[in-house]
Structure 1
Amino acid sequence: MTVGVRPLENRFVRLEPFTPALEAEVRVALDCDPASWDIMVGAGYGPHFDGWWRSALTAMEQGTCMAWAVRQLSDGAVVGTTSLYEIKPDYRRCEVGATFYRPEVRGGAVNPSCKRLLLGHAFEAGAVRVEVLTDAINPASQAAIRKLGARDEGVLRKHKITFRGRIRDTAQFAILDENWPDVRARLDARLAVLA
């Protein structure tokens, strides 16, 4: 499994790999909604951005993470970030996540568009398993993951610690290579009816 870093695009979004040239736009996109960041392991808003950005670029250099800025094509604005991370080529698995969108684009075409692109990229690279993790106290995120067609695999207790210091339980989901055709068809059907 070799996950390359390249732009990914469909009719709603363009995913642009992190580069220094994107730093200012990503900073602006993430500098909002502090309450949403509170349940995340790492924070990328306000005073937390610089360390978060450096960490993402370092992980990309090491090949353990591929991070993208999410550019909404309707207006050209960067509206968030998303990633493939915990990339394990020997096991042909990775996680999709480290995702944050501006509040005004949540619930529309952006998230299913990004997931369609990232999942396609991972499975085309040879993944046999793509995991999607979220905080167990985040029912909206869990519902969105189930809507993708990911299988619920339970809760990992005391799995991570948020940047605020709360020990978090993690709800774990996965999509396997044999599930991908159905998940892809489901995402394509959702996107086909969106304006």
Structure 2
Amino acid sequence: MLPVAVLENAFVQLEPFDEGNKDAVRAALDHDPEAWDGMVTAAYGPHFDAWWDAAIAAMRSQSRIAYAVRRKSDGVIVGTSSLYEIKPEHLRCELGSTFYRHDARGGAVNPATKLLLLDHAFGHGMVRVEIITDALNVVSQSAIRKLGAVYEGRLRKHKRTWTGRMRDTEMFAIIDSDWPSVRAGLESRLQSGFKS
């Protein structure tokens, strides 16, 4: 089982969801409604409370660890990401349910967050971490490829989005034997491209 813990590096601090960070997460997610269209559930505006309650319930059942992402440079919670669909019996989980405010996109926040989450998963016995995204979301697919995840194919009509559209899903994964090179790539990106 993956332990629930605060994770941090020079760029971000990942704080498991609790009542103390709920309002800050709400504020971070209440942006860019169009970006939620490819998601299975929405978490902006009037959708937040149901989404939050579902995340907390999944944490209680130990199938998800949802994190508030705090940017270290200014101390602001700028989004969220999760390890979810945690399956200890198969030594696998998914990494996703990720959303950042506009000003946190394209910089150190996402690679720093992914480094921490992947290290947490592989460091506690996972052998496979899946990352999936809407087949229409080419920006997300590009970011996942940049991480070093291996493309494994398209799952047709895989999920229904909260708007009712049946989406095709692009499946990527990182396995334990990939992790050393993926970690080295993320560390190199953070050391060379961003200042803490």
Q: Which SS does the other structure have where 1:20 is aligned? A: coil
Q: CA deviation at 1:12?
A: 0.6
Letter in 1 for 2:177: E
Pairs aligned (count): 194
Write out per-residue CA displacement over residues 86-133 of structure 1, whole angstroms, 9 at most, x where no aligned residue: 000000000000000001111100000000000000000100100000
Question: Aligned partners of 1:106 and 1:40: how far apart in 2?
Answer: 18
Q: TM-score, normalised by structure 2?
A: 0.98
1:104-143 matched pairs, under 5 angstroms: 104-143=103-142
1:42-191 matched pairs, under 5 angstroms: 42-191=41-190
Question: Aligned partners of 2:74 and 2:122: how far apart in 1?
Answer: 29
Question: Aligned partners of 1:163 and 1:20: how far apart in 2?
Answer: 25
Question: Aligned partners of 1:165 and 1:103: how far apart in 2?
Answer: 25
Question: Aligned partners of 1:29 and 1:188: how far apart in 2?
Answer: 26
Is 1:35 aligned to residue 37 of structure 2?
no
Write out per-residue CA displacement over residues 10-55 of structure 1, whole angstroms, 9 at most, x where no aligned residue: 0010000000111111111101100101111111100000000000
Where has structure 1 moved over 4 Å in runs of 4 or more?
Answer: none
Question: Aligned partners of 1:9 and 1:51: how far apart in 2?
Answer: 28
Letter in 2 for 1:185: A
Q: Which SS does the other structure have where 2:69 is aligned? A: strand
Letter in 1 for 2:173: A
Q: TM-score, normalised by structure 1?
A: 0.99
Question: Aligned partners of 2:182 and 2:151: how far apart in 1?
Answer: 14
* % identity of equivalent residues: 59
Question: Aligned partners of 2:95 and 2:149: how far apart in 1?
Answer: 11
Question: Aligned partners of 2:22 and 2:110: how far apart in 1?
Answer: 21
Question: Aligned partners of 1:58 and 1:184: how far apart in 2?
Answer: 31
- Structure 1: gaps spanning 5 or more residues: none
When the two chains are superposed, the root-mean-square deviation of aligned CA atoms in Å is 0.5
- The aligned counterpart of 1:7 is 6
Letter in 2 for 1:5: V
- Structure 2: gaps spanning 5 or more residues: none
